[in-house]
Amino acid sequence: MIIDLLRLFWIFCKIGMFTIGGGMAMIPLIQQELVDRNLMTLQESIDMVAISQMTPGPFGVNCATFSGMRLYGLAGAVVATLALALPSFIICLLVSRWFFKCKSSPVLSSILLGIKPIVLALILTGLFSIGMETIFPYSTFASIDIPVVCIAAVLSVLMIATKFSPALLVLAAGVFGVIFLR
C-alpha cells in the first residue's frame, strides 16, 4: 500500500506540476496518467469530472480527492490532494517575488501569451475525449446517445445565454437523469 500511495503521490505531483490554465486543463493529464495506466476507466474519469464540477472547491483539488479516494480510500484522497497542490505551492512561493518585480516585462508578457495556445489545446483535448465517450458510448455512430446530446445542447445554451451557475446545471442534469434516463 505504501508503494501504491507513493506512486499516486508522484502521479498527482506531475499533474500538479504540468497543469497550466486551471483545473479543466488537467483532464487530459489525469486521463493519461490514470486511464492509460488502467487505474481508472474512462467512464470513471468522466464521473470524476462531473462530481468535481458540482462540488464546492477548486476543480483540480476535487478531481485529485475523488481519484485518490476511488483508488486507495481516505489515505489516497489525502495523498493525491496534497501531491496536486504541492508543486504549485512551491512554484508560487519561488516565482511570486520575481513576478511582481518583472510583471511589465515584454519577455514575461510574451511567455504568458505563448502559453495560452497549449492551455486551450489541453482544455479542448479533454473536452473531445469526454465528449466522444459520452456521445458515442460504444464507439460507433449507431450508438449515439441522442438524449445526452440534447441535454448537453440545452445546458450549453443556458450557460452561455443566461449565465446560470454550472454547479446548479450539473445538479439539474443529475435530477433529469434520475427522472428520465433510467
pLDDT in tens, 66-107: 999 999 999 999 999 999 999 989 988 888 878 777 778 888
Q: Which of 94, 55, 54, 49 is nearest to 67 (CA)?
A: 49
* Whether residues 116 and 175 fall in one domain: no
* Whether residues 117 and 96 fall in one domain: yes
CB 79 within 8 A of CB 85: no
Q: Which of 170, 175, 137 is nearest to 156 (CA)?
A: 170
Collapsed DSSP state (helix, strand, coil) of residue 144 = coil
- Share in percent of the chain as helix, strand, coil (round to 5): 85, 0, 15
* Whether residues 8 and 82 fall in one domain: yes
Please tell me the predicted confidence (pLDDT) of residue 77.
Answer: 96
* Whether residues 131 and 172 fall in one domain: no
CB 43 within 8 A of CB 114: no
* Whether residues 78 and 107 fall in one domain: yes
Please tell me the predicted confidence (pLDDT) of residue 142.
Answer: 65
- Is the model's pLDDT at 141 over the cut of 70? no
Residue 169 banded pLDDT, cuts 50, 70, 90: confident
- Is the model's pLDDT at 148 over the cut of 80? no
* Whether residues 115 and 176 fall in one domain: no
- The mean pLDDT value of the chain amounts to 85
Which of 26-40, 69-83, 168-182 is most confident?
69-83
* Whether residues 39 and 116 fall in one domain: yes
With a pLDDT cut of 70, the percent of the chain lying above it is: 95
- Is the model's pLDDT at 143 over the cut of 90? no
Q: Domain span at residue 91? A: 2-138
Higher pLDDT, 41 or 126: 41
pTM score: 0.62
Collapsed DSSP state (helix, strand, coil) of residue 64 = helix
* Whether residues 61 and 118 fall in one domain: yes
- Is the model's pLDDT at 138 over the cut of 70? no
* Whether residues 7 and 46 fall in one domain: yes
* Whether residues 131 and 181 fall in one domain: no
**What single DSSP character describes residue 33?**
I
Q: Domain total for the chain?
A: 2
Please tell me the predicted confidence (pLDDT) of residue 88.
Answer: 87
